[in-house]
């Protein structure tokens, strides 16, 4: 990371607010630092914002990249307002992705927007998610806040800000790499779907596949119930599809006595010689050979079909 902080506003190329920082100003700084030459940040008081001709001002000052004014924009067909990071991503995101090798720039732009930018937009504008959970959720807002001084610490918060920006860069770069890889996988799976027959999709290598399947407009894709692919631990994984992207119930499952079994016990119960693992929920099973993976998959398909007709 090449971001520097200055106490002299005349040296600044980037200007944002001082004191406590949030995901918005942190991720905005990180993103700008990736294409602004000589990113030098001045963290200004909201009551004393310097007018520096060539500096980009964000999350402060009611300008182009601020969202605190009465005229703050909402996203189209949404109750989510843009925050500064959202405004910067809208302005520069596609331009930044021009230098990224990808099979679909628009798909990558939208993936980052949906999985990162909108979350920061929503939380920074007071639109908090609701989730029922038996444990506390350590979300992005809380993680970034953990970099701030505690109430007992009276030291300069600038060094903490730089640490948070560096951390944000790791998150952004990892997400960008992963989503770009997923897009490549989607394109590969889409080609496989054109030639698939029957209820089983067989992939030649381990890759993400659910998005390609659920978004496919091919009629025959509706028949797919199980995916088989090489495991990165050796052998083959057999994975029943879920009902939808949102509903995680499985389309098919194995007899209950198979669930949670492994090695010789599973092989004996199933009659599949190289079967060696079955998750207790049935979402994953494993065999040593592709031939046996197909056999085990067909047991689930036939069992589910027979029980549904009872």
Per-residue pLDDT reduced to its tens digit, 213-246: 998 989 999 999 999 999 988 999 999 999 998 8
Residue scoring higher pLDDT (55 or 306): 55
**CB-based contacts of 125, cutoff 8 Å, min separation 6:** 67, 72, 80, 81, 83
* CA distances from residue 234 to 149, 229, 269 in whole angstroms, order as listed: 47, 10, 22
In this prediction, residue 310 carries a pLDDT of 46
Q: How many CA atoms lie within 13 A of 271 on its CB side?
A: 7
Q: Has residue 62 got a pLDDT over 90?
A: yes
Q: Are residues 174 and 280 in the same domain?
A: no
pLDDT band (50, 70, 90) for residue 143: very high
155 falls within a domain = yes
88 falls within a domain = yes
From 181, 213, 234, give the residue that closes a domain: 181
Q: Are residues 266 and 291 in the same domain?
A: yes
97 falls within a domain = yes
In this prediction, residue 246 carries a pLDDT of 87
Q: Are residues 102 and 37 in the same domain?
A: yes
Query: Is there a contact between 82 and 67 (Cβ–Cβ < 8 Å)?
Result: yes
**Overall average pLDDT of the 96-108 stretch:** 96
Kindly report which listed range (68-72, 86-90, 268-272, 292-296) carries the lowest average pLDDT score: 68-72
* CA distances from residue 288 to 64, 83, 170, 273 in whole angstroms, order as listed: 58, 50, 37, 9
Q: Are residues 165 and 219 in the same domain?
A: no
Q: Has residue 183 got a pLDDT over 70?
A: yes
Helix (H) or strand (E) holding 123: helix 118-124
pLDDT digits (tens, 9 = 90+) for 236-278: 999 999 999 889 999 999 999 999 999 999 999 999 999 999 9
Average pLDDT, the chain: 94
From 148, 181, 214, give the residue that closes a domain: 181
Percent of the chain with pLDDT over 90: 83
Q: Are residues 176 and 209 in the same domain?
A: no
CA gap 86, 274 in Å, rounded: 51
Percent of the chain with pLDDT over 70: 98
Cα–Cα nearest to 85, from 21, 42, 137: 21
Cα–Cα nearest to 89, from 69, 70, 111: 111
Written as one string, the DSSP assignment of 6-44 is: -S-GGG-SEEEE-SS--HHHHHHHHHHHTTSSS-EEEEE
**Overall average pLDDT of the 89-117 stretch:** 96
Token pair listed for 108: 């990558």
Q: Are residues 32 and 108 in the same domain?
A: yes
Query: Is there a contact between 66 and 38 (Cβ–Cβ < 8 Å)?
Result: no
CA gap 264, 297 in Å, rounded: 18
Which domain, by its residues, includes 140?
Answer: 4-181
228 falls within a domain = yes
188 falls within a domain = no
Number of domains in the chain: 2
Q: Are residues 40 and 99 in the same domain?
A: yes
Q: Are residues 83 and 219 in the same domain?
A: no
Q: Are residues 125 and 53 in the same domain?
A: yes
Q: Has residue 175 got a pLDDT over 90?
A: yes
Q: Are residues 115 and 207 in the same domain?
A: no
187 falls within a domain = no
Q: Are residues 202 and 173 in the same domain?
A: no
Q: Are residues 9 and 49 in the same domain?
A: yes
38 falls within a domain = yes
**Overall average pLDDT of the 31-53 stretch:** 93
pLDDT digits (tens, 9 = 90+) for 144-169: 999 999 999 877 899 999 999 999 99
In this prediction, residue 304 carries a pLDDT of 76
From 181, 215, 230, give the residue that closes a domain: 181
Strand 4-5 versus strand 40-44 pairing type: parallel
Computed over its alpha carbons, how large is the radius of gyration of the chain? 25
274 falls within a domain = yes
């Amino acid at each position: 990371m090449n971001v520097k902080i200055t106490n002299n506003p005349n040296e600044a190329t980037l200007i944002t607010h001082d004191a406590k920082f949030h995901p918005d100003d942190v991720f905005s700084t990180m993103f700008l630092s990736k294409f602004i030459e000589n990113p030098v940040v001045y963290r200004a008081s909201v009551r004393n914002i310097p007018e520096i001709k060539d500096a980009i001002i964000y999350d402060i000052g009611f300008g182009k990249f601020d969202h605190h004014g009465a005229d703050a924009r909402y996203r189209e067909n949404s109750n989510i307002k843009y925050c500064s990071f959202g405004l910067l991503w809208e302005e520069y995101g596609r331009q930044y992705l021009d230098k990224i090798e990808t099979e679909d720039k628009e798909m990558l732009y939208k993936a980052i927007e949906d999985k990162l930018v909108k979350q920061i937009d929503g939380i920074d504008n007071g639109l908090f998610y609701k989730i029922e959970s038996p444990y506390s959720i350590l979300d992005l807002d809380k993680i970034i806040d953990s970099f701030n001084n505690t109430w007992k610490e009276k030291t300069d918060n600038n060094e903490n800000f730089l640490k948070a920006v560096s951390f944000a860069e790791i998150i952004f770069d990892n997400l960008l790499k992963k989503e770009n890889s997923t897009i490549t996988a989607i394109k590969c799976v889409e080609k496989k779907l054109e030639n698939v027959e029957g209820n089983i999709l067989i992939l030649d290598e381990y890759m993400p596949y659910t998005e390609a399947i659920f978004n496919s407009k091919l009629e025959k894709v509706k028949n797919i119930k199980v995916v088989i692919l090489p495991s990165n631990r050796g052998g083959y994984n057999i994975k029943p599809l879920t009902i939808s992207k949102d509903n995680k119930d499985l389309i098919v499952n194995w007899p209950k006595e198979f669930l949670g079994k492994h090695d010789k016990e599973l092989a004996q119960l199933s009659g599949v010689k190289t079967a060696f693992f079955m998750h207790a929920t049935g979402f994953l099973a494993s065999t040593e050979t592709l031939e046996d993976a197909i056999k085990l998959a067909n047991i689930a398909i036939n069992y589910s079909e027979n029980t549904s007709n009872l």
